[in-house]
Amino acid sequence: PYTRGSKAWFEDSEECWVRATLVQRTDDETLGIGRLVFTRDDATAASTSAAGILQENDGSLDDLARQVARGSRLTGGRLSSTQRVGARYVVDIAFGELAEAGDALLPPLSNPAMLDGAADLTTLSYLHEAAVLHNLRRRYEQRQIYTYSGVVLVALNPFAAVDAYSGEWMARYAGGRGGEAPHVFAIAENAYRGMGEGRQNQTIVVYGESGSGKTTSAKYIMRYFAQAHQGGGAEQLSAVEAQMLATNPVFEAFGNARTTRNDNSSRFGKFLDIQFDRRAAPRIVGGRIRTFLLERSRVAYQAATERNYHVFYQLLAGASDALRGELELGQGDARQAWQAFHYTRQGGAGSGEVAGVDDGAEFGETCRALDTVGVDAQQRNDIWRVLAGILHLGNVSFGGGEAAGAHVDAAAEGAFATAARLLGVDAARLRQWLTRRQIVTRHDRILAKVARAQAVVIRDSVAKFLYARLFDWLLGPVNASLGGAADAQAAFVGVLDIYGFEHFAANSFEQFCINYANEKLQQHFNHHVFKLEQDEYRREQLASWTFVDFRDNQPCIDLIEGRMGILALLDEESRLEQGSDRSFAEKLYRQYSGAGGAGGSGGGDADASAYFCKPRFSNTAFTVRHYAHDVTYEAEGFLEKNKDAVPDEVRRLLGDSSFGFVAALAAQDAAAGGRRAPTLGGVFKRSLGGLLATLGETAMHYIRCIKPNAAQAAWQFSAPLVLAQLRACGVLETIRISKAGYPSRVPMRTFNERYAVVLGSSAAAAASTSTDDDERALCQQILDCCLPDATQYQVGLTKVFLRAGQWAVMEKRRSLVFERSALVIQTYARRVLVQRAFARMRAAAVCIQRAWRSLQFARACEARRRARAVRVIEEWWVHVQQERRVRAACCVQALVRGYLARCLVQRLRVERERRQEAERAERAEWERRQAVERAESQRLAEEAARAEQQAVSQLEQAESQPEQNTRHRFPATILLDAEPDEPAAYDEYMAQ
């Protein structure tokens, strides 16, 4: 199968597995070695060539021998090796080692493209974890969250709303009409039909790690049973649905909490058996719920970013003002009330709030659900009072030293008094038994002081005791509301919602019990899968088959629950007065000292010792090699959690409480206990044994929920996280079991119709009309032709069984036939296509020519019409333009003449005004000059008058002296006649 173009898988540190294509193969028979060069499918185009890895002379004898010898030195003498260079993988193979080690030296092959996204993992031709991981990723990318893995339904949490659970989807699967499409409703329908038609009780196991969607899957199963097959009226359907589904918010509030991995993690296991009557179409008549292993330590302690159980935060955020006042929960901001209590704030800042969750609204929903399941208003108030008492008890702090003993701090007296009042106990007695302990001797009883740390332990044990009893008490009204008539409860379908395998940085008693339960369930699952495989082989009457033994984890279970197992030693140490976690760990080391990591020979069972290991750098931890992963547990806290006991004095104090509800809870525990208080490990072991006994009497269905990414982001796939869960949940073990047998199973008729082509066209035509005997003979002929090795297949009564990888061989043979046929078909098809293309081309050419000539004639006519139209338009246009120019000229001339006339008038007006202004100025100047001249004339006249007077006087004198003045006499008339003529002077001036 490793030919050019084949695809194989290689391990990768980030994606776990990556696919690569074989681009070059070099074999040397003389040296007995070969080289395969692969390129990653996600590499760039420049990387897809083999150049750079193998040059032209790389395949030569000397060069290949030299490189393989170098690989031999690097691998400690083994010639075969795999090297990575960039985006390429170079696989060197020694043929001799290949014959000894088999396909382990070669990279696992990829499945054919037709199998990508297969709905059932067991139908894959090559079954290995790389193919499984790739198939799940491909379906997840296609928004397909469900995939079958044999009898297991693998469900990947989408972390987004998916439209696959409506009434239409229920109707699609009701009555078995859903076909082979994987879905949680298909599992529920198979269980329903098996219970009704097969008359056998059924169980659906829903398991997975925190955040994988177990609780949601279980809710949808319950909803399917409540709605899909209920034939009654609307009232009856509503009542059945309410009774079944109302248990979910109740147990989510009291049993779920926020963890580092999930905001709504179930911290307990739940088994719900839905009871049906024995009619032809069974109807729900009731139900019963069993719970086990509630994480009690969470009541008193939460890690960073984690929360206590949801109900505490719901009460603090949603209680009415009257209830808050009665319970003294504070009157401030209800959303921040959790910060006032030690038991709700240990997660740190912001840990009390969950994004997208309104605790106040959730409190209302929890109240309505409690009312639906039969818890009346008075009982609900009693529950809130007990929860408030636990919260106030957690605020009680202690002081004191080792010598003086512990005492209640003065600052905590208010919280202490409130806790005593709410719990209805005597405050003095409560104070005494929180800070004292009673030692019973043969003859006397002694009161001893306790240290501060021990007082805190007693306080927390009281809180955990009350909450655990309250949680157990809830089962009473819930089961009473679900219970049907005794004579009608003849059959049931159980839904087991259980935590998956857990492996944290620090693992304690809770993880130990959870992983112990998963070990038991995995063993039960393996036996169930083997039984189904064997039943199908017998039903098909295979001629001969041997089944490979599966990996039995019974030694690991013996290590945990055996006569001298971990639980037995833990119970023994818990009963000792001076028992401690360190001495418990030392007992384990001594008992299983023959295990890896500890020397010497111990007394433990050899098989069990192989599953135990002592860590190198710790004296209080131990490692158990579980089927899924090696887990190291810290022994610190094991004894306290296993005993989980409240001092007898405190128990009696609670039993004497004036608050009847608390007294009833304490009495419930007293009635359950015997002479010796059972340990939590023993109780869990017995409840787990009863659960497995119930499962053993029912037909099993499995749903494995997978958490695809740690960030809870929608539609994101983290390959390392998914692969770790597949290894831990048994899905890969199922595939390994199937791979050991005949994983590929095809109905005989389907096989013949698909692969008869390898025998010729006549055989393919006969495959669809053959009888049963003919089908079997035809099937055998096909197998003989394609698979010469008869050990690689078996022919049953109705199916053909193929070993792993043989389906890919059949597909390749079929592809070769189709490729050869395709060449012949292509030859004739291309000729026909060319002929048809030529005929179409010729017809098209004639059509185009006719259309073109018609178009050319139409264009010529159009051109002549346009030319004539142009001439007409030009003539009309010239005429119009001429008229327009004349009108425009006239208009312009009129405007210009008017403008010029106005300008002339304006200029004349201005000139006239200017001339008038000049005339006025000249007139004024003339008048001024006239005035000057008149003044001058007047002066001259005056002077003339004076001169005349002088002349007269002189004349008079001359007359008196005539002879002396004759020469200077001036006649007066001469001077008077000298005045100018005024009009004549003005005219002369204007003429100038």
Q: Which residues are catalytic?
A: 210-211, 215, 262, 265-266, 500, 502
CA angle, 58 as apex, 55 and 63 as ends, to 5°?
A: 145
* CA-based nearest residue to 726, from 710, 746, 707: 707
Distance, in Å, from the CA atom of 663 to the CA atom of 655, rounded to the nearest integer, reads 4
| Ranges of H-type helices in 53-206 | 61-74, 95-101, 129-141, 167-173, 184-196
Count H helices, E strands: the chain?
A: 33, 24
Q: What phi and psi, each to the nearest 5 degrees, are found at residue 769?
A: -120, 10
Q: What phi and psi, each to the nearest 5 degrees, are found at residue 68?
A: -70, -35
Dihedral (Cα; 884, 890, 891, 895), 10-degree rounding: 150
CA angle, 184 as apex, 182 and 185 as ends, to 5°?
A: 95
CA separation (Å) from 742 to 118, 127, 212, 448, 751?
17, 11, 31, 69, 15
Contact 447, 436 (CB under 8 A): yes
Contact 781, 763 (CB under 8 A): yes
Place of tokens 């409690």: 370
For 215, the enclosing helix (H) or strand (E) is helix 214-227
> What is the largest distance, in Å, between two alpha-carbon atoms of the chain?
203
Residue type, 940: L
* Burial zone of 159 (CB within 10 Å; 0-12 exposed, 13-18 middle, 19+ buried): middle
First to last CA, the chain: 137
Kindly state the tokens that stand for 562: 């055996």
Residue spans of beta strands (DSSP E) within 209-314: 256-257, 265-266, 269-276, 284-292
Kindly state the tokens that stand for 523: 């063993």
For 467, the enclosing helix (H) or strand (E) is helix 452-482
Task: Give Cβ neighbours of residue 502 (< 8 Å, ≥ 6 apart).
Answer: 209, 210, 511, 514, 515
Residue spans of beta strands (DSSP E) within 784-898: 793-795, 799-802
Distance, in Å, from the CA atom of 148 to the CA atom of 953, rounded to the nearest integer, reads 168
What DSSP string runs through 391-426? HHHHT--EE--TTT--EE-GGGHHHHHHHHHHHT--
Contact 269, 515 (CB under 8 A): no
Contact 519, 553 (CB under 8 A): yes
Under DSSP, is residue 626 helix (H, G, I), strand (E, B) or coil? Answer: coil
Strands 491-499 and 202-208: parallel
Residue type, 381: N
Contact 121, 737 (CB under 8 A): no
Distance, in Å, from the CA atom of 937 to the CA atom of 929, rounded to the nearest integer, reads 12
Contact 502, 209 (CB under 8 A): yes
Distance, in Å, from the CA atom of 414 to the CA atom of 275, rounded to the nearest integer, reads 49
